[in-house]
Chains A and B, each alone.
Chain A
Amino acid sequence: MSDGTATARPAVESLLRLGDDRLVLGHRLSEWCGHAPILEEDIALGNIALDLLGQAQGLLKLAGALEGHGRDEDALAYFRDAGEFRNVQLVELPRGDFAHTMIRQFLFDAYDVLLTDRLAGSPHADVAGIMAKAHKEARYHVRHSGDWVVRLGDGTDESHVRAQRALDALWPYTGELFAADAVDVAAAGVGLGVDARTLRDEWQAMVTAVVAESALRMPSSLTVAEVPAGGREGRHTEHLVQMLAEMQVVARAHPGASW
């Protein structure tokens, strides 16, 4: 198999997009380990990060196998530069305060629970298996982050202000989740991806319902010019560069090491 064929390239790209979203968000969540406001949350965020990293591991392994250049999941995670990552910019933004982390998590989880449900029916057995499991995990994730959106939004004045600030700041980045391009459409055609435009209405309904319970105000709809994009093609913020420098430093300092 080669990435030069018409069918392999979108498939590899799609698996990288799915895997990189999870790898990067999982790393951002793991940054809370030892810093969360309560012990239970420390454990919860660590568990959710593990789920996402485990999903990323399976997806990147498949991407590497399909690519056919001998790169395994570790090579893809630790020896690619930012320009080769295919995650949306939403997941690479710094974790910010706890409200920022939880609002971002909810916006992603609501998307993820829909996406994984679709891909659990993939004709590709490995993708179906990874995504069926990921969907079960995502159902726990979205309940957790959704609960926090309500608690923070409808909590103290301080938590409300912070949650609203986070929602307003993150909202423009959600557009990229649903901006399907030719790669997505081609990958969706063979069951290795989803045309995310088809998820948007249901996602919007889920987010609107939870925000309505939270006493937060939904941000107004965005014009195309306001929506950051490019993560799927490898255009990223400087935050990803900094994150990867930290995430990859040990693997790059000791290539081939095992422990």
Chain B
Amino acid sequence: MTRPSPAELARLLGDGWDPAPAATRAVDGAAADGPGVRVAEPATADAVWAGLDGVPDPEVPVISVVELGIVRDVHVTGDGAVTVTITPTYSGCPAMREIERDVRAALVRRGWADVRIDTVYAPAWTTEWMTDAAREKLRAYGIAPPRAGAAALVALRRATPRDQARPDAVDRAAVPCPRCGSADTRLQSAFGSTACKALHTCTACGEPFEEFKPI
């Protein structure tokens, strides 16, 4: 897959994305004390939300953990302690520890060292929480966005009259190719490189592509 250039990524991601190579970026609190870094602003819920919106999902870096709906809540107490509540996208998502670390690092980098991270299961995460803007970023990146509507599940087993009678069998349409837009695509596997993605092939342009599965 052709990856977007840093400039392209910056355009897709909008303000807040730092296109500098990772090695030159501050990665922990200590680096935040270096020259050129301004004094920490007071921690407010709005400022924390804004800070978290720059934290990319480690597996789908084109969108942030806020845009994905992983960050459920932010709470700041009078003494500046920050509590961030997150929820996993899938039960066994192996990226959750990395997300915790990235969230903590992003806030420490802003000068807020007292950070607590709570993981909650309820309500269960859903792709319904993803904004239209985030879906468009995914598509531009080459990942077919999750189709709206909880019913939009991929049919792996051959459709039968029994399937058609099921309430979740409403949307059986093929996933449009994010590259050429063709609807002439087929599912390779509902289980892709990460738990949240399925693998498809476009018959029209011949390219394989990933889909962010609706769940």
Binding site for B on A (CB under 8 A): 40-41, 43-44, 46-55, 57-58, 120, 125-126, 128-130, 132-134, 136-137, 139-140, 143-144, 146-147, 150, 209-210, 213
| CB pair B92 A54 closer than 8 Å | yes
Interface residues of B (CB under 8 A from A): 88, 90-94, 120-126, 153-158, 160, 162, 168, 188-193, 195, 199, 213, 215
Asked whether A143 lies within 8 Å of B124 as measured between CB atoms, the reply is: no
Q: List the A residue with the shortest CB-CB distance to B157.
A: A147
Q: Interface of chain A, helix or strand or loop or mixed?
A: helix
> Whole-angstrom distance between the alpha carbons of A140 and B211 in the complex?
14
Shortest distance in angstroms between A214's beta carbon and chain B's nearest beta carbon?
A: 10
Q: Are A43 and B189 in contact (CB under 8 A)?
A: yes
CB distance from A134 to the nearest CB of B (A): 6
> Which residue of B91, B158, B195 has the most chain A CB atoms within 10 A of its CB atom?
B91
**Inter-chain contact B120/A140, CB cutoff 8 Å:** no
Is B191 in contact with A44, judged by CB distance below 8 angstroms? yes
Q: Which residues of B contact A49 (CB under 8 A)?
A: 92
A43-B192, A50-B195, A128-B122 as given contacts; A143 in contact with B157, CB under 8 Å = yes
How far does the Cβ of A85 sit from chain B's closest Cβ, in whole Å?
20
Q: What's the least CB distance linking B193 to chain A, in Å?
A: 7
Contact B156 A213 (CB under 8 A): no
Report yes or no: B158 in contact with A147, Cβ–Cβ below 8 A.
Answer: yes
Residues B158 and A133 in contact, CB atoms below 8 Å apart: no
Give the complex CA separation of A210 and B192 in angstroms.
Answer: 25
28 contacts between A and B (CB under 8 A): A43-B189, A43-B193, A44-B191, A47-B191, A47-B192, A51-B90, A51-B91, A52-B92, A53-B92, A54-B93, A126-B121, A129-B122, A129-B124, A130-B91, A132-B123, A133-B90, A133-B91, A136-B126, A137-B90, A139-B153, A140-B190, A140-B213, A140-B215, A143-B154, A143-B157, A144-B190, A147-B158, A210-B157
